[in-house]
A and B are shown apart, each in its own frame.
Chain A
Amino acid sequence: MALPHLDAAYNLARWMMRHDQDAEDVVQEAFLRAFRYFQNFEGETGRSWILQIVRNTCYTWLARQRPATGTPATNRLVADVVSPSPDPETMLTRHEDRQLLLQAVEALPAEFREVIVLREFEGLAYKEIARIVEVPVGTVMSRLARGRERLHESLDPNRKGGAPDGLS
């Protein structure tokens, strides 16, 4: 049986749930729902559907399970993420950089995290993100802007080179 977009579904769920087992459970529930309501969700439209269901399932689970602690299990993160091929000389710095970066993404509030993940790790266009997150395209853009600003701040707290959060 073909399960289209399984990796994308898992990636989004894992970033939103910040937990392996929860992400698996969410993805399973989402696919069961998807198969119940749609016969076919291949292609780009199908991807939006399944990711939208995954996202909604994540929020349902998060609301049900945890009273919003906001402290992710960051220590497990880096080992779980797909590894890039290491360059021995700069491996340590790269590794640290990567760890900081991914921790910063993981610490973002959910509304910014989801658009960053969909844009940067899934490579989706604004239009498709808008469909999944169920907000206008302009909101996708402003959330990306604010999410990126927060990343800049947490990665380089000393130098606030860019615009302040929000567009004055």
Chain B
Amino acid sequence: MDCREAEYLLHGYVDGELELAGSYEFERHLAGCATCAAKLAREQSLRARLAGSAGSFRSPPHLKSKIESALAEVIPAADIRSRASQRHAHRLLTAVVAAGLCGVALMILFRPDATDALLVRQVRDSHVRSLMAAHLYDVESSDQHTVKPWFAGRLDFAPWVSNLADEGFRLVGGRLEYFDNRAVAALVFRRRDHVINLLTWPAPNGATTSPQLDRLEGYQIVHWSAGGMTYWAVSDLNAAELQDFATLVQSRANFPDANRAAPAEQSPANTSASPDRR
């Protein structure tokens, strides 16, 4: 290696970016060349000075909340881009059929009572609040084994928790909500740009109801009760996909055996076919 080559490799060497062979060649040249050794020392001392200069700007504290509230405004608006909605149109049919089947399988149909209208509004408000105040979750994790234990000491019931990332609904965290006169579990899922809040608490009288879709000012809300629990899913996601989500949660939460039977939780076909098993 001559000085020209060494000079070419100098910065790669200083930055630790050379392959082993290149480093070795470079060092061999350096051992016999005072000029190149001096150049190396010069670059190393500049790097040391820069490293010691603490030249990083830290983002000001108010910036985070500023961006978060800007995002909260934008995320619902992103729903307008429903390019994917056509692709999911056939899944709406699937969802409706599956929801129907579940209803039949459970053999009980409740008419929603008047308090539902109030709850719909409360659920929607809770969803909006969670986005606006940037208080989306108290525990941030996509791991159900982190989120579920987190609720353990904080609620008098054990909410259903599962990551549905394989089906396109990524669990991102959980938080507590005070709601309908009690502490409830809120699970946060994400689908593309959309946030879904899933609120869960014990059903008042162990009632079972089939999923019902409500719309309120651009938000879709699907709610149902099963297995002694009430579930409310709310999002600015389109109705078809939110119903897909509800169907998925229903089958996973109410037929955990089927879930366990499905290898690696990757076959929703197995789980949705399961309601007849019991």
> In the complex, what distance in Å separates the CA atom of A44 from the CA atom of B234?
32
Given A81-B54, A101-B53, A141 and B11 touching (CB < 8 A)?
yes
> In the complex, what distance in Å separates the CA atom of A96 from the CA atom of B64?
32
The total of chain B residues at the interface (CB under 8 A) is 45
> In the complex, what distance in Å separates the CA atom of A42 from the CA atom of B75?
18
Interface string of B110-121 (1 = CB under 8 A from A): 000000000000
Taking a contact as CB atoms under 8 Å apart, the answer to whether B50 and A120 are in contact is yes
Given A1-B136, A125-B17, A151-B46, A36 and B74 touching (CB < 8 A)?
yes
Taking a contact as CB atoms under 8 Å apart, the answer to whether B11 and A144 are in contact is yes
Query: Which positions 232-250 of chain B face chain A at CB distance < 8 Å?
Result: none
Taking a contact as CB atoms under 8 Å apart, the answer to whether B55 and A102 are in contact is yes
9-residue interface stretch from A8-16, A56-64, A66-74: A8-16
B204 at the interface (CB under 8 A from A): no
Q: Hey, which bits of chain B sit against chain A, CB under 8 A? A: 4, 7-8, 10-12, 15, 17, 38-39, 42-43, 46-47, 49-60, 63-64, 66-68, 70-72, 74-75, 78, 131, 134, 136, 140, 170, 190, 192-193
**Most chain-A CB neighbours within 10 Å: which of B10, B136, B190?**
B10
Closest to B130 in A: A1
**12 A-B residue contacts at CB 8 Å?**
A1-B131, A7-B58, A24-B66, A27-B63, A27-B67, A81-B53, A81-B55, A81-B57, A84-B53, A120-B50, A162-B42, A167-B4
A131 at the interface (CB under 8 A from B): no
Further contacts, 10 of them, CB under 8 A, given A141-B12, A148-B11:
A10-B59, A28-B67, A35-B75, A39-B170, A81-B54, A81-B56, A126-B15, A141-B17, A155-B46, A162-B42
Taking a contact as CB atoms under 8 Å apart, the answer to whether A82 and B71 are in contact is no
Taking a contact as CB atoms under 8 Å apart, the answer to whether B140 and A2 are in contact is yes
> In the complex, what distance in Å separates the CA atom of A28 from the CA atom of B74?
12
Taking a contact as CB atoms under 8 Å apart, the answer to whether A101 and B49 are in contact is yes
Taking a contact as CB atoms under 8 Å apart, the answer to whether A3 and B68 are in contact is yes
A80 at the interface (CB under 8 A from B): yes
Tell me which residues across on chain B come within 8 A of A80, comparing CB atoms: 57
The distance from the CB of B189 to the nearest CB of chain A, in whole angstroms, is 11
**Most chain-B CB neighbours within 10 Å: which of A97, A148, A155?**
A148
A135 at the interface (CB under 8 A from B): no
The distance from the CB of A15 to the nearest CB of chain B, in whole angstroms, is 7
> In the complex, what distance in Å separates the CA atom of A148 from the CA atom of B54?
17
The distance from the CB of A152 to the nearest CB of chain B, in whole angstroms, is 7
Taking a contact as CB atoms under 8 Å apart, the answer to whether B193 and A6 are in contact is no
Taking a contact as CB atoms under 8 Å apart, the answer to whether B42 and A1 are in contact is no
Chain B interface mostly: helix
Given A141-B12, A167-B8, A1 and B53 touching (CB < 8 A)?
no
Taking a contact as CB atoms under 8 Å apart, the answer to whether B49 and A119 are in contact is no
Tell me which residues across on chain A come within 8 A of B4, comparing CB atoms: 167
Taking a contact as CB atoms under 8 Å apart, the answer to whether B56 and A11 are in contact is yes
> In the complex, what distance in Å separates the CA atom of A116 from the CA atom of B58?
17
Interface string of A117-129 (1 = CB under 8 A from B): 1011110011000
Taking a contact as CB atoms under 8 Å apart, the answer to whether A6 and B64 are in contact is yes
Task: Say which residue of A10, A97, A163 sits within 8 Å of B57 (CB atoms).
Answer: A10
> In the complex, what distance in Å separates the CA atom of A127 from the CA atom of B208?
56
> In the complex, what distance in Å separates the CA atom of A155 from the CA atom of B140?
46
> In the complex, what distance in Å separates the CA atom of A3 from the CA atom of B64?
7
Given A14-B57, A98-B53, A144-B15, A161 and B10 touching (CB < 8 A)?
no
Given A10-B63, A28-B70, A36 and B17 touching (CB < 8 A)?
no
> In the complex, what distance in Å separates the CA atom of A45 from the CA atom of B7?
31
> In the complex, what distance in Å separates the CA atom of A81 from the CA atom of B52?
12
Tell me which residues across on chain A come within 8 A of B56, comparing CB atoms: 7, 11, 81-82, 121-122
Taking a contact as CB atoms under 8 Å apart, the answer to whether B7 and A121 are in contact is no
Taking a contact as CB atoms under 8 Å apart, the answer to whether B54 and A32 are in contact is no
Task: Say which residue of A31, A105, A120 sits within 8 Å of B47 (CB atoms).
Answer: A120
Taking a contact as CB atoms under 8 Å apart, the answer to whether A31 and B71 are in contact is yes
